[in-house]
Amino acid sequence: MMTMLTGVGASSGTAQGTARLIHGPDEFTRFETGDVLVCRTTDPAWTPLLGMASAVVTETGGMLSHAAIVAREFGIPAVLGVRGALELLADGEPLAIDGAQGTVTLMDSE
Active site amino acids: 66
Closest by CA to 17, choosing from 92, 102, 72, 103, is 92
Q: Is 1 exposed, middle or buried (0-12, 13-18, 19+ CB in 10 A)?
A: exposed
Closest by CA to 22, choosing from 82, 89, 68, is 89
